[in-house]
Amino acid sequence: MVEFRTAYYHPMDRDYMGNTMPEVKPQANIEEPIIPVSQLGQTVTEGGRFGNLIQTATAAIRAGTGTIELQTQMGGGGEPVGAESYGKEAREAIRELAKANEVLLTSVHTPTAVGNLSGFNPQQGNFSDEHRKIELDEVKKAIKFAADAAQGGAVVVHTGEYHRPIFDASWNKEGKWKDSFISYDEEPEKTVMHLVDDRTGRVISEVRRNQVVYRPNWNRHEGKESYVDDNGKTVKPGDYIDYEGRKVEQFEERVPKYDSDKGIFETKRMTWQDFEKEAKERNDMFRMQHGRDPVGDERVTPEESFLQAQLESNIGVAKGWALNYGVRVKEQLEAVEKIKSALKYYEHLEKNASPKDLAVMRMEAITRYADGRLVGREKMLPSEILKEQLWDARKNIESSKDMATSQMQQAREQEEMKQHAVSISKYAKKKSLQSFAEAGLYAMKESQHNPHVNKDVFVAPENIFPEMGFGSHPEELIELVKGARKEMVNKLTEKYVEDPSGRKDEKGKPIMVPNPDFAGMSRDKAEELAKKHIKATLDTQHLGMWWKHFKPKAGETEESRRKRFNDWYMDEIDKLAKENILGNIHLVDSIGGGHQHLPAGQGDLPVVAAIKKLRQKGYKGFINSEAYEEERFTPGRILIETWSAFGSPIQSGYAGGAPGSRMWTDVRGGYFGQTYPPKFIFGSYSPSNDWTLWSQVPME
């Protein structure tokens, strides 16, 4: 509660009435406020337009804030900004500033340039562990700064881990809000799915959903009855079979259907829907072979099925050519032996032959061994021609051997690629969880060992704009936090972990290596620590940006659509409350679906109801306003409008001893003792443009 019970007076005023005014009970709000003003603060930033964090925090304190989030910028440039631009004394000054003014420093925001922790480099269009380390190091700088200067609290990191289509996201495919969102009208047909080489992070393939390809029409049992093949396997209608009717149980062993009348192998036109069906087939086959559902990397996605079908075709072609050249080598080796035998015979014969016999041999050699190539061979003996053929045969063997080896090499490389080509969602998500788990571990260590910490430090991924990718939707944010917590628990409790470089054995299984973070603690203790040091930041305005992707119903009015959207908004708030992952909130309102920063109550989002529900569900984390856009109209609106929207009462007294209630309109609009001053001056009351006050203060 802000308390205005003191008569503010000029030092030259006579103190007739005294300075203490009688206490006045608030009349603006007869119930308890949703949130006391001491717990509704603001974010402050740094930079050339604002000053350093000490200056901007001081300004916010003078405006009446009770809590502050420190927004750092990316350092290393020409301007002295960023967490590491504050030395020991500057960090101490920030601590003392907060202590002296009884203000809580709740959080530190990493630079907005940190857009993901998956390692995706937008400039290169690929994933890079080097880039991931650069981004993670920025988070660790912020964690250290939060421990030193803010003495703990949230360290906010923007998400946007990887591109994923909106219309096809798991949360948009089932449940109450199924098919409620779409990025753009053509998204279902034109969206691009990416695949990544998990050894290098390189994006190796892009699959557009409306892309049509031709693949072999695989041989299947087309009858209506099942039968038992030569190997004792039951072959059901639709099962893959070889040319002898035997059941094929591995996808890579399928054979294309052969049209004996035309003498060709059949191909089939395939669309995205075909690859969705094939992905299901692959997962069903895994289930039959292992007796359980595939999980994690084991589950095949449609884009992986697309690439695997392509790779299997390439493998088949390469192996076919390798076999073809292998057969040639066999034939040529047999020919070499025959030529050598003939050569031995003729060399012996020629050695003891007369000139007349040699002439006959030359004629016989021309007709028998020269294959009609007479030019230059008229005077050649059989042994000479055979030596030439032996040389040719050996060269053909060398060539065929190289071709067969090259084709087998290509086949092996394609098989290796098949093991390492994964959908972008699998690769990037794993890297993101790894990064947030590492950040959580670093926050844990700072909380335990930094002497300045008086509250837990925790990393807090924030839901970003919908189009920025994974992590922007509440259900993705929940998955990110819970997955990172699980990864942190594994790091604390498992002696061996998957090789971070993504190495796999010959069977495609991840290679395990010693875990450098192993702490030997129980899983219960590790889970408790993970929950303390990895939480989430909810940005109420970013959640509202889903409005622009919210599909209208036929004939629906804008008002009805807005009501449905607000219902969805509150449902997502319910999910976040139920999962208990939130530790920090950016309180912002907006009008429309763009990126705006309006004070609570000045937009059309149900932000007040959302915060009220979260508080009722037990939320005790930090709440700060980022509603700075209307500061250009009236300084202080970032706080005063927020306090007003949440029903925080204000107490006051008037000079002269006449007690009375004051409203927030008095504070934000009071002028010369008048409660409701004119906002603008018109007509003859307005001075001309040529006249100004000596102080240069502008008048409206």
pLDDT band at 377; cut points 50, 70, 90: low
Residue with tokens 């047909």, as numbered in its chain: 189
Contacts 24+ apart (CB under 8 A), 250-255: 251/282, 251/285, 251/308, 251/312, 252/312, 252/315, 252/415, 254/216, 254/218, 254/219, 254/312, 255/218, 255/219
The DSSP-derived string for 597-643 is -BPTTSSSS-HHHHHHHHHHTT--SEEEE---GGGGTSTTHHHHHHH
Q: What pLDDT, on a 0 to 100 scale, did the predictor assign at position 412?
A: 86
Q: Which residue has the higher pLDDT, 692 or 349?
A: 349
- Give the mean pLDDT of 366-387: 66
Q: Take residue 583 and report the two structure tokens written for it.
A: 């530790």
For residue 269, list its beta bridge partners: 214
- Give the mean pLDDT of 631-642: 84
Q: Which residue has the higher pLDDT, 696 or 462?
A: 462
- Give the mean pLDDT of 115-127: 91
Q: Take residue 129 and report the two structure tokens written for it.
A: 């562990």
- Give the mean pLDDT of 400-413: 87
> Are the C-beta atoms of 464 and 114 separated by less than 8 Å?
no
- Give the mean pLDDT of 44-49: 88
pLDDT band at 116; cut points 50, 70, 90: very high
Domain spanning 2-173+428-658 has what CATH number?
A: 3.20.20.150
**Could you read off the pLDDT of 327-358 as tens digits, one per residue?**
888 888 998 999 899 888 888 887 888 888 77
Q: Which of 573-577, 626-630, 667-671 has the highest mean pLDDT?
A: 573-577
Q: What pLDDT, on a 0 to 100 scale, did the predictor assign at position 208?
A: 85
75-89, 166-180, 346-360, 624-638: range with lowest mean pLDDT: 346-360
The DSSP-derived string for 113-172 is T---SS-EETTTTEE-HHHHHHHHHHHHHHHHHIIIIISSEEEEEE---S---STTSGGG
pLDDT band at 417; cut points 50, 70, 90: confident
Q: Take residue 471 and report the two structure tokens written for it.
A: 């992590």
Q: What pLDDT, on a 0 to 100 scale, did the predictor assign at position 378?
A: 60
The DSSP-derived string for 636-700 is THHHHHHHHHTT--EE---TTS------HHHHHH-BTTBSS--SS--GGGSPPTT---TT-----
Q: How many CA atoms lie within 13 A of 216 on its CB side?
A: 25
Is the pLDDT score of 376 beyond 70? no
96-100, 251-255, 407-411, 622-626: range with lowest mean pLDDT: 251-255
- Give the mean pLDDT of 317-330: 84
Q: Which of 151-155, 236-240, 305-309 has the highest mean pLDDT?
A: 151-155
3-state secondary structure of 592: coil
Is the pLDDT score of 104 beyond 90? yes
- What CA–CA distance (Å, rounded) separates 18 from 291? 85
Is the pLDDT score of 676 beyond 50? no
Taking Cα atoms as reference points, which of 665, 616, 659, 644 lies closest to residue 29? 644
Q: What pLDDT, on a 0 to 100 scale, did the predictor assign at position 636?
A: 83
pLDDT band at 52; cut points 50, 70, 90: very high
- Give the mean pLDDT of 211-239: 91
- What CA–CA distance (Å, rounded) separates 582 from 534? 9
CA 482 → CA 464, 465, 531, 571, distances in Å?
A: 18, 20, 9, 19
3-state secondary structure of 256: strand
Q: What pLDDT, on a 0 to 100 scale, did the predictor assign at position 1?
A: 42
- Give the mean pLDDT of 139-165: 96
CA 346 → CA 353, 377, 382, distances in Å?
A: 10, 16, 7
Q: Which of 285-299, 388-402, 441-455, 679-693 has the highest mean pLDDT?
A: 441-455
- Give the mean pLDDT of 506-523: 88
pLDDT band at 642; cut points 50, 70, 90: confident
- Give the mean pLDDT of 250-271: 86
**Could you read off the pLDDT of 455-494 as tens digits, one per residue?**
999 999 999 999 999 999 999 999 999 999 999 999 999 9
**Could you read off the pLDDT of 159-199 as tens digits, one per residue?**
999 999 999 999 999 999 999 999 999 999 889 899 999 88
